[in-house]
Amino acid sequence: MPPEPKTPLTCQDAIGLLVDFLDQTLGDRLVAELERHLADCAPCRAYLKTYRKTRDLTARAAPADMPAELRTRLRDFLRDRVLRGDI
């Protein structure tokens, strides 16, 4: 859970809290501060609306199988990166 803010939330702060807000894992004080920010900030309300819609759409999307060739190429790529120490 994010720390409690000491000053009014900025838009960047508010956007950073949206996942926890939608997952209902914020404390009451942070929820109140975020809701206060959203009440006065049309761009953040629009961002929240878009973010909610995106989460809803992706939750309803059917999972897709990765083609075997792509899975092999990805595995080889990641293995090579790990062996080189890049990952």
pLDDT of residue 4: 54
Domain of 29 in residue numbering reads as 11-84
Average pLDDT over residues 26-37: 96
Confidence of residue 20 (pLDDT cuts 50, 70, 90): very high
Confidence of residue 87 (pLDDT cuts 50, 70, 90): confident
Signed CA dihedral, 23, 39, 58, 71: sign only: negative
Contacts of 18 (CB under 8 A, 6+ apart): 47, 48, 51
Least confident piece of the model among 18-22, 42-46, 63-67, 69-73: 63-67
Does residue 73 sit within a domain?
A: yes
Count: domains in the chain? 1
Q: What is d(CA 73, CA 42) in angstroms, rounded to the nearest whole number?
A: 44
Does residue 2 sit within a domain?
A: no
Does residue 4 sit within a domain?
A: no
Does residue 68 sit within a domain?
A: yes
